[in-house]
Amino acid sequence: MLKSYIIVHWEGKIRYIDMKYRKSMFLRLPLFLGFMLFSVLLTARAQAQAPKVPAVKLAHLQKYLNSTADTTYIINFWATWCKPCIEELPHFEAVQQQSKGKPVKVILVSMDFVKDLDKRVVPFVTRNKLKSIVFLLDEPDQNAWIDIVDPSWSGAIPATLFINNARKQRLFLEKPMTLAQLQQHLTSTLSKTP
Amino acid sequence: MRKPYYFLLILSVLTLLGTSAYRTAEGGYQVGDTATDFKLKNVNGQMVSLRDQKEAKGFIVTFTCNTCPYSKLYEDRLVQLHQKYAPKGYPVIAINPNDVTISPGDSYAQMQKRAKDKNFPFVYLHDETQEVAKRYGATRTPHIYLLTRNGQDLKVSYIGAIDDNSGDPEKVQKRYVETALDHLLTGKPVPQTSTKAIGCTIKWRNNS
C-alpha cells in the first residue's frame, strides 16, 4: 500500500516536472549548479575541520625538549591501545583548559604505529575532541631516542615529562597520574622563578 | 662561622641525591648481576624453576602478557627465537606478571588459552604474586632478561628489547637478542648489553 502510494506520488511529481521543465530550465540550471558548489564547499570544510595529527620525526620533539622559552611543556607519551594512558588523557585536557593565558603547553605524543594514524589515531582524537597539541612520533628504533627524552625512562607508557628550561625545571614520571597529582606537579614547576 | 653550615647543607643535599639515584639503580637487576631462581606455574600445570633445566646454558627470560599489543607483535618472533636457540641451550622462559584484577585478560585460564592458540613451544609461567617481575626490575611487556649459566650462578648478560622494530618484523635492522646470543655462544662479550623500547607498563596490583 505504502509502496504504491510513493510510486503514484513520484509519478505525479515527475509528470509535474515534465510539464514545467521547459519554462523553468533557465531558473533551475543555475540553482542546481549553485547547490553542487555549495555541497563541494561543505565537504571541503568538513575535511578541514578533521584534526590533523602529523607524523613527525625526533627533531620535532626536540624543539620542545630544547626550547629556551619560559613555557612549561607537559609532554605525555601515550597510545590508543594503552588503557592507563587513555584513562589519564582527560586530566591533561583539563589542565590545558585551566592554564589558558599561562605559559603552559600540553603535548600529547602518540606512540601508535604510523600505519594506524588514519585508522586509529585521527578517529580517536576526533571522537574525544582533544584540544591539546597531538602528534605521532614516527621513530621505530625506540632505543635510539628514549634516553634523549629521559635517561630514567625504561620505555613503559604512560610516561610524562614536565620541562621548562628557562626555569631549569624538569620532572619525569613513568606512571599514570590523577588530575590532582598533575596539577600539583605543574604548580611546583611554575613556582620556580626563571 | 656560617661556612660549616653551608657545607653540611650541601653534603646532606648530595647524600639525598645520591641515595635517590642509587635507589632507582637498585630497583631490579643490572647487566652483570647474578639472577636468582624462581618457581612458577606453567600453563600445563607444572611448576617450573630454572634450576631444574640442567642442560640449559642459559635462558631468554621474557616478561610478556596476553593483552599488550607490543607483546602480541612479538609472539611469533619469540617462537622463532625459541626454535632457533633452545637447541643451542637457550630456551625462552615467558613470564606473565600482570595483575588479574586489573587485567582480566591475563588470568591463568586465558594464558592457557593463548599458549594453546599460538602453540607456544616454550613455557609460559604465571607470576601471580608479581614477585619475580619486581625482583628482576621488569617495568614493561615485553622485557627481556638474557641469563647465562656461570657455574652454579646465572648471570644477567643482556636486558632490553628483542629487536629495533616492534611494528614491522620485515624492517628490523638490529636483532639485539640474537646478536647477544650469537656472541655468548661463541664465548665473546655481548656488544650491546642493554636497550630500551616502548612497551605496556606492567599492571601492578594496587596495594603494591
CATH number at residue B87: 3.40.30.10
With beta carbons under 8 A apart, name residues in chain A contacting B196: 142-143, 146-147, 153-155
Helices (H), chain A: 2-49, 58-65, 83-98, 122-127, 146-149, 179-191
Do A31 and A103 belong together in one domain? no
Q: Is A151 on the interface with B (CB under 8 A)?
A: no
Domain count, chain A: 2
What is the span of the domain harbouring residue B43? 31-201
Residue in chain A nearest B140 by alpha carbon? A156
**What CATH number does residue A67 fall under?**
3.40.30.10
Contact: B69, A158; criterion CB under 8 Å: no
Cell of B117: 592458540
Do A45 and A59 belong together in one domain? no
What are the residues of chain B with a beta carbon less than 8 Å away from any beta carbon of chain A?
24, 69, 139-140, 143, 160-161, 164-168, 171, 173-174, 176, 195-202
Do B170 and B80 belong together in one domain? yes
C-alpha distance from A124 to closest chain B C-alpha (Å)? 17
Do A98 and A3 belong together in one domain? no
Contact: B140, A143; criterion CB under 8 Å: no
What is the span of the domain harbouring residue A19? 1-49
Residue in chain A nearest B204 by alpha carbon? A175
Q: Is residue B1 pLDDT above 50, yes or no?
A: no
Question: What's the pLDDT tens digit per position in A109-161?
Answer: 999 999 999 999 999 999 999 999 999 999 999 999 999 999 999 999 999 99
Which range has the worst mean pLDDT, A4-8, A14-18, B83-87, B143-147?
A: A4-8
With beta carbons under 8 A apart, name residues in chain B contacting A152: 24
Do B61 and B96 belong together in one domain? yes
Q: Report ipTM (2 d.p.).
A: 0.80
Residue in chain A nearest B142 by alpha carbon? A156
Do A34 and A71 belong together in one domain? no
pLDDT given at position A5: 43
Per DSSP, A175 falls in state S
Residue in chain A nearest B195 by alpha carbon? A143
Higher-pLDDT residue of A10, A178: A178
Taking CB atoms and an 8 Å cut-off, how many pairs form between chains A and B? 65
Do B39 and B7 belong together in one domain? no
Q: Is residue B108 pLDDT above 70, yes or no?
A: yes
Task: Kindly list the distances between the CA atom of residue A182 and the CA atoms of A84, A104, A169, B61, B205, in Å, as whole numbers in the listed order.
Answer: 15, 13, 15, 35, 22
Report if residue B208 sits inside a domain.
no
Do B66 and B17 belong together in one domain? no
- Nearest Cβ partner of B197 from A77, A142, A174? A142
State the DSSP string of A97-145.
HHTTTSSEEEEEEE-S-GGGIIIIIHHHHHHTT--SEEEEE--S-GGGT
Please give the average per-residue pLDDT across B26-40, as a whole number: 92
**What is the C-alpha separation between B12 and A183, in angstroms, rounded?**
29
Please give the average per-residue pLDDT across B95-117, as a whole number: 97
With beta carbons under 8 A apart, name residues in chain B contacting A154: 139-140, 143, 196
Contact: B174, A81; criterion CB under 8 Å: no
- Nearest Cβ partner of A156 from B160, B167, B201? B201
Q: Is residue A4 pLDDT above 70, yes or no?
A: no
- Nearest Cβ partner of A155 from B69, B167, B196? B196
pLDDT given at position A190: 77
pLDDT given at position B185: 97
Q: Is A145 on the interface with B (CB under 8 A)?
A: no
- Nearest Cβ partner of B198 from A84, A142, A152? A142
Please give the average per-residue pLDDT across A58-79, as a whole number: 97
pLDDT given at position B33: 97
With beta carbons under 8 A apart, name residues in chain A contacting B71: none
Per DSSP, B30 falls in state -
Task: Kindly list the distances between the CA atom of residue A130 and the CA atoms of A90, A95, A106, B22, B120, in Å, as whole numbers in the listed order.
Answer: 9, 12, 11, 39, 40
Contact: B164, A140; criterion CB under 8 Å: yes
Cell of A188: 611546583
